[in-house]
Amino acid sequence: MTTEAVRAALSRQEIELPSWAFGNSGTRFKVFTQPGVPRSPEEKIADAAVVHKYTGVAPSVALHIPWDKVDDYSALAAYAKEQGVRLGAINSNVFQDDDYKLGSVTHPDPAVRRKATDHLLECVDIMDQTGSRDLKLWFSDGTNYPGQDDIQDRQERLATALKEVYERLGDNQRMLLEYKLFEPAFYTTDVPDWGTSYAHCLELGPKATVCIDTGHHAPGTNIEFIVAFLLRTKKLGAFDFNSRFYADDDLMVGAADPFQLFRIMNEIVRGDALDPDRGIAFMLDQCHNIEEKIPAIIRSVMNVQEATAKALLVDRDALRTAQQSGDVLGANAALMDAYNTDVRPLLAELRESQGLDPDPVAAYKRSGYFEKITKDRADGQQAGWGA
Ligand SMILES: [Mn+2]
């Protein structure tokens, strides 16, 4: 790829920000609050718009219902537009109600399943108002003890609920089915892996696709293989980017394993799936528990950009030639040459050519925004866990 083509691809890249990353979060032991944290969906959107202002590649914000519940979603969409961003995926929440102790859409009680399915349908109603394309589904459903519930019945209940929601989707709407190996259920999880998600999506139809949350795998899982498989079968809908050392750590993407992020983006570039027109949503799903939130999110966006730039720099011809001639070391070197390239000057130049500061974190720090929100948001209830 020529330098011009690399720049063009990078300038069209889009990374979606999660509203919840701007709120307070923590571990199950403690939530540390921070000054200046948003108190409303509007303030979360305003913060997301700041990240877009300094990076130029984060034009949309994912919402979480009910965390971002408002009376008028059209007005919220208009507010986002005024701020220079748009509303993205609607994330459902069927894991924070006492009724869901034994599950939501897979609960043994049909009344609880009805309540959970109704919430998912409500999320589609919201999408109609926000203009969102994607409904993101993550189920905490599962069991803690062998024998606790019938595993096969739970799969059937899941399929039934998904089908009802799928049929409610509009022509330009999609369902993203996220999976997670374990937690909060520890014995069985009803959607534990990409294969389960893929099988349900296949059964549902073309508007159902898999969401890969990079933190939701067993240690050592080859995530880029999953990417390659789902690209081939046109069932990759989205990423929830974050990084992990142990379990679902929700740390900044690219922080724990930048090489893994590069390998993932390499499959994306190889599959010609980077452009927003290709329909894959590249979202962040992170919690900033001890670090300052807005600069952490800017840093995360930059980490994805850097991995993408390296993937775009892979000499595809040299790689293909080496692969086809059985030159194992040559093929590996073609990949590693790109990974070991310092792409920071390229990205700094790209930002300058777009009228942005070459160093988005420094530009944010100089802007006085943090001082302003700390002052403006001194009163009221901060958004986030434990709120
Ligand atoms: Mn996720």
CA of 334 to the centre of ligand 1 (A): 32
pLDDT digits 0-9 by tens, 2-57: 899 999 999 999 999 999 999 999 988 999 999 999 999 999 999 999 999 999 99
Ligand 1 centroid to 264 CA: how many Å? Answer: 16
Alpha helix (H) residue ranges in the chain: 3-12, 41-55, 73-83, 110-130, 151-168, 194-204, 223-232, 258-270, 293-312, 316-324, 328-339, 344-353, 360-367, 369-376
Tokens standing for 204?
A: 């549902």
What's the CA-to-centroid distance between 200 and ligand 1, angstroms?
18
From the CA of 37, how far away is ligand 1's center (Å)? 21
Domain-by-domain residue ranges, the chain?
3-376
The alpha carbon of 16 and the centre of ligand 1 are apart by a number of angstroms equal to 12
pLDDT band at 1 (very low <50, low <70, confident <90, very high): confident
Cα angle value 94/96/102 (rounded, 5°): 70
Write the pLDDT tens digit of every residue in 89-118.
Answer: 999 999 999 999 999 999 999 999 999 999
Please state the CATH superfamily assignment of the domain spanning residues 3-376 in this structure: Divalent-metal-dependent TIM barrel enzymes (3.20.20.150)
Distances (CA, A) of 321 to 242, 265, 331, 341: 34, 21, 8, 21
Ligand 1 centroid, distance to 179 Cα (angstroms): 8
The residue type found at 220 is G
d(CA 41, CA 223): 32
C-alpha of residue 317 to centroid of ligand 1, in Å: 35
Residue 354 C-alpha to ligand 1 middle, in angstroms?
31
Q: What is the pLDDT of residues 265-294, one digit of tens each?
A: 999 999 999 999 999 999 999 999 999 999
- Percent pLDDT > 90 in the chain is 98
How close is the Cα of 248 to the center of ligand 1, in Å? 9
